[in-house]
Structure 1
Amino acid sequence: MKNVHAYLIGAAMISTSMIISQGCTKSTDDDSDLIGNWKKSDDFEGNARSEAVSFTIGDLAYVCSGTATTERFKDLWEYSTSKRYWTQKADLPGVARNSAVAFSIGTKGYVGTGYDGSTRLKDFYEYDQASDTWTAKAEFAGTGRYDAVAFSVDGKGYIGCGYDGNYLKDLWQYDPTQDAWTKRASVGGSKRSAAMAFVVNGQAYICS
């Protein structure tokens, strides 16, 4: 049986509950199709919030930033999927924010952009899991924005779309070895914000 799990945090927007989609097979064949089967897991231990970001490193999941009514957050929480508990980690530098983006590359997590209540942001930070520290990296090279979309593929990170006063469809690539941004081909289709992205077999998909 394949060991495949997906995690959904705050299904009701401002919620601290977390549920797990655990893959279940209909046979003993390791290559057989899986059926999603949801069950409740351990409650998120930070403040209830919406518009947070998340990334994963190994079997650890991280939730950062977000908003609850008029309050914004910059705290970082780590969830151990094997030990099933939450641990608060070092706060994100910079201002508290919502509608940011995040992705991971190797053993590092990255968080940037977003909205602090008055400014559309473009600062960008790297989280080191081993030392529980953040480092400011090269600012996002596009315009300051929120509700962008982000993902990582083959050791590079990508941020695109979002809202900077206008809706956007540009796409930028981040190279952590050079700490540098490069503009790439714009996203196809309409300009958009608050989209979602996923990666399958080295191919990235953006939708909604």
Structure 2
Amino acid sequence: MSCFDFFNRLNATFPRPQTALYFLATLVFMAACQTPDSLIPIQLTDPVTASQASLVSVQPTGNTSAEVIVKSIRLEPSDWQLLATSADGNNPVLTSGETKPLSDFKLTTLQLSGLAVGKTYQFRLSFRFAEQDTLTAIRLYTHRLDTSPRWTRLAHASFSGGDYTAYPVAVDGICGPNPFNGCGNPGTGAYVGNIVQLLRYPGTLGAHMEIKRYDRASDSWPFYAGSDIREPRHRMVQYNLFFNGVDRYQFSGLGYLTEERAPSKYYYYRSMSAIFPVGGSPVFPLYGGEEGELAFFTTTDEAYFLTQNGSPAMRSIHADFTQTVRAPLPESPGTLATFSIRNIGYVVNQYPGQPTRLWAYDPTVDRWTQKADFPGAARSRGVGFSLAQRGYFGLGLMPDGKGLRDLWQYDPLTDRWQYVTNYPGQGNQLMAVFSAPEGAKPERAYLGWGYEAQAISTGVNRIVGCTDWWELTP
């Protein structure tokens, strides 16, 4: 029996939800006072995304200029308008540019001139929503010329509906640019992220998990005919481990579904599968940790799991499938962001009412050490990743639910944080992040997708799914 046949039989023993549910679906209005730490399942009777427009990115191109990208879904150019203003009345000039149609939306590039370094501008994007009401989304932008680290805008993934978040994993090796080669296992090629794979919940009842792959060589998301045939779920985990430091194993599984008949209204999967250089297997035993939304980090041959807003307990899964109870996080977890640097795991604990603390875990002695507190604004749902032996943390949501885009760098050698850049893209929570391993050429991280908590003129926030994709180099 194949691992997928096993999981089909295993999942068949559990009740299947009878409604199509979306997690943080696009164009859902949420009061600004809503608690941002909770999982927020949203049920829509119509799975078709309503017509909308979003300001995707503002990226500086010079001392006085920037590039602006607007994404529109089923809207004509005359159905939306973007204005840029400054507090002193010296407003920059927006010039219309090229519109590129994709299968699910259009991207319009505009040029912005008359900017001043260090000055903050307000963008107001107005458009017709569902052919009924006019919405105005607002974003602030401070013009900065960040030379290090550097952002490069990459191709959007064209999709609409379902989840806009996933865990990217490298599939370099036999996965070449040919999208029809099957790529049944990840091969033994370089683990550098020239091709990354994301498994996302498609949002359609009865559909399989959707496979998306980004090809860096062509800067594209080539069509891929395959799908993951296991039970669809939100936040299916993916990661790579190296058995004995050599053989690369690709793990995937866990995640959850919203289920009205479950006591907590969430059904959490405990099953995982592993793909080896040759063949694959279900992972036994099933995950034995606490139920809840997971955060994790990896070392060379082991993955370590904590529970968001749960108990401090931690459990690891080795490349040989062995599970071990590890030293608990020394404090109660809020929402967690994680990264790894040279086989030391780092956890940023965003717990309401206390400083945002950084903890380092050394697996060789099974011990946590408190590091320098994060000096930026308090938040939840921030994102963490590593790049060039440095940790990065930022974005997320303020206590009032508004989104942040600042990104800070942590140096483990000096135990110090410093602000380094603002994310130029759209999302600010539940981002998809991939960090290339140490020694990759070039050293880089991918960051994108996710959701934007977007302020609108009526004083509330709306949650918008994002499809942009960026590369960050040191």
TM score, norm. by length of structure 1: 0.81
The corresponding residue for 1:205 is 446
Letter in structure 1 aligned against 2:409: Q
The corresponding residue for 1:171 is 407
The 3 A distance-change label for structure 1 pair 80 and 21 is: closer
The corresponding residue for 1:30 is none
**Residue 73 in structure 1 maps to residue 318 in structure 2:** no
Letter in structure 2 aligned against 1:125: W
The 3 A distance-change label for structure 1 pair 184 and 47 is: same
- The Cα offsets for residues 127-148 of structure 1, whole Å up to 9 and x where unpaired, read as 1111111111000121122111
Cα distance in 1 between the residues matched to 2:381 and 2:282: 28
The 3 A distance-change label for structure 1 pair 168 and 46 is: same
Is the 1:62–1:76 Cα contact (8 Å) retained in structure 2?
Answer: yes
Cα distance in 2 between the residues matched to 1:53 and 1:190: 23
**Identity %, equivalent residues:** 26
Q: Which runs of 5+ in 1 are unaligned?
A: 26-36
Cα distance in 1 between the residues matched to 2:270 and 2:319: 15
The corresponding residue for 2:119 is none
- TM alignment of 1:14-33, pairs within 5 A: 14-22=267-275
The one of the two structures with greater contact order (alpha-carbon pairs below 8 A, sep at least 6) is: 2
- Residue 167 of structure 1: how far off its partner (Å): 0.5
Letter in structure 2 aligned against 1:59: D
Letter in structure 2 aligned against 1:55: F
- TM alignment of 1:83-162, pairs within 5 A: 84-97=321-334, 99-115=335-351, 118-119=352-353, 122-162=356-396
- Residue 9 of structure 1: how far off its partner (Å): 4.2
Aligned structure 1 segments of 4 or more residues deviating by more than 6 angstroms: none
Cα distance in 1 between the residues matched to 2:251 and 2:325: 18
Letter in structure 2 aligned against 1:148: G
Which segment is superposed worse, 72-81 or 188-197? 188-197
The corresponding residue for 2:72 is none
Which structure has greater strand proportion? 1
The corresponding residue for 1:61 is 303
The corresponding residue for 2:250 is 6
Aligned-CA RMSD value: 2.2
The corresponding residue for 1:193 is 429
Cα distance in 2 between the residues matched to 1:162 and 1:39: 36
- The Cα offsets for residues 17-69 of structure 1, whole Å up to 9 and x where unpaired, read as 232352567xxxxxxxxxxx87531311112211x2111111011001324xx
The 3 A distance-change label for structure 1 pair 141 and 38 is: farther
SS in 1 for 2:359: strand
Is the 2:339–2:384 Cα contact (8 Å) retained in structure 1?
Answer: yes
Letter in structure 1 aligned against 2:419: K
Is the 1:196–1:206 Cα contact (8 Å) retained in structure 2?
Answer: yes
The 3 A distance-change label for structure 1 pair 21 and 81 is: closer
The corresponding residue for 1:47 is 290
Which segment is superposed worse, 145-154 or 2-11? 2-11
- Residue 123 of structure 1: how far off its partner (Å): 0.9
Cα distance in 2 between the residues matched to 1:110 and 1:91: 13
Cα distance in 2 between the residues matched to 1:155 and 1:122: 21
Cα distance in 2 between the residues matched to 1:9 and 1:148: 23
Cα distance in 1 between the residues matched to 2:348 and 2:435: 20
SS in 2 for 1:185: strand
Is the 1:138–1:179 Cα contact (8 Å) retained in structure 2?
Answer: yes
The 3 A distance-change label for structure 1 pair 134 and 24 is: closer
Cα distance in 1 between the residues matched to 2:299 and 2:365: 14
